[in-house]
């Protein structure tokens, strides 16, 4: 049996529920869980390094920093809570640029606790998994996150960013050429890049997904809902590929789509 985790990043208080519904209904309708990395209290003026407003924001930010807690998006919260197929992971706190790449543990702890509080106030259960904005974590961030979450999902791992006490486990992971590993009682999951993205050719996308899934025991497939609606305009071709992925997964009795919670509870092997 092979396992797949669907991880969609950047859901926040400004995300239109209709966007998630259009992308993920073919998965939800087949009983496949969708793991949403939710930004607890999004900063609405965040910009990329080249100065552009982040595309997961649907309104222009004000000159002064503003924060929008997820509970402010009442229609979105109601939609997510009404659909049991959605599973919430904590995606940073404000989604500042590389906000978990810093080294100050008091600041990191404060952001983690604030994020958890905002999700709790919106009525969500404590997430099993943490996803850092831009997949960037410092050594101190790993320590703080690991003390609160059973699963850390990121793009890659570097020894210089890991707690030193994890180095032996990391060395074994490297020697065994494993995608995922465990350290400190936590499950550490990597992913093969954003295979479902407007940056990639549509024609080869499904084949890339197939190769990634068939190449391991557990595969984390990462997407970003806003890439399917850039500028507020639906990308019908990209959405169509996503729906083809849902059909392909459903056609394979040897593949099971699971949640981060399944990994945290050890119901799913990671290697």
pLDDT at 217 over 60: yes
- 258-263 average pLDDT score: 98
At 62 the pLDDT is 46
270 inside domain: no
191 inside domain: yes
The full length of the chain comes to 271
At 63 the pLDDT is 47
238-258: per-residue pLDDT in tens? 999 999 999 999 999 999 999
Strand, helix or coil at 2? strand
At 190 the pLDDT is 98
At 17 the pLDDT is 97
Instruction: Name which residue leads in pLDDT, 64 or 76.
Output: 76
Instruction: Count structural domains, the chain.
Output: 1
Q: How confident is the model at residue 59 (pLDDT cuts 50, 70, 90)?
A: low
Q: What is the CATH number for 165?
A: 3.20.110.20
Give the mean pLDDT of the chain. Answer: 94
At 48 the pLDDT is 79
> Angle 236-251/205-214 helices, nearest 10 degrees?
30
Q: How far apart are CA 41 and CA 20, in angstroms?
A: 19
At 16 the pLDDT is 95
269 inside domain: no
For residue 211, the enclosing domain spans 2-264
64 inside domain: yes
Would you say the pTM of this structure is higher than 0.75?
Answer: yes
Q: How far apart are CA 39 and CA 35, in angstroms?
A: 13
119 inside domain: yes
The DSSP H or E segment spanning 100 is none
pLDDT at 74 over 50: yes
39 inside domain: yes
247 inside domain: yes
89-116: per-residue pLDDT in tens? 999 999 998 899 999 999 999 999 999 9
148-197: per-residue pLDDT in tens? 999 999 999 999 999 999 999 999 999 999 999 999 999 999 999 999 99
14 inside domain: yes
E-only strand ranges, the chain: 2-11, 34-38, 41-43, 67-69, 86-91, 129-131, 151-153, 181-183, 186-189, 218-224, 255-258
Distance of CA 24 to the CA centre of its chain: 15
């Amino acid at each position: 049996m092979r396992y797949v985790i669907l991880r969609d990043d950047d859901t926040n208080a400004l995300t239109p529920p209709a966007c998630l519904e259009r992308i993920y209904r073919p998965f939800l309708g087949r009983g496949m869980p969708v793991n949403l990395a939710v930004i607890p209290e999004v900063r609405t003026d965040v910009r990329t390094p080249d100065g552009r407003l982040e595309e997961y924001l649907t309104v222009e930010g004000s000159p002064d920093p503003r924060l929008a807690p997820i509970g402010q998006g009442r229609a979105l919260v109601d939609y997510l809570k009404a659909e049991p197929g959605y599973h919430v992971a904590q995606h940073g706190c404000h989604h500042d640029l590389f906000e978990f790449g810093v080294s100050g543990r008091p600041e990191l702890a404060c952001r983690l606790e604030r994020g958890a509080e905002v999700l709790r106030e919106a009525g969500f259960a404590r997430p099993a998994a943490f996803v850092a904005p831009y997949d960037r974590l410092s050594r101190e961030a790993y320590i703080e996150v690991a003390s609160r979450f059973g699963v850390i999902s990121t793009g890659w791992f570097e020894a210089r960013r890991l707690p030193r006490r994890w180095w032996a486990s990391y060395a074994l992971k490297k020697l065994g050429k494993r995608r995922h590993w465990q350290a400190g009682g936590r499950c550490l999951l990597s992913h093969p890049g954003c295979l479902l993205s407007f940056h990639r050719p549509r024609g080869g996308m499904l084949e890339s997904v197939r190769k990634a899934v068939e190449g391991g025991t557990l595969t984390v497939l990462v997407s970003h809902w806003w890439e399917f609606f850039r500028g507020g305009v639906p990308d019908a071709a990209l959405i169509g590929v996503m729906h083809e992925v849902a059909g392909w997964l459903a056609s394979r009795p040897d593949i099971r789509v699971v949640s981060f919670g399944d990994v945290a509870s050890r119901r799913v092997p990671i290697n």
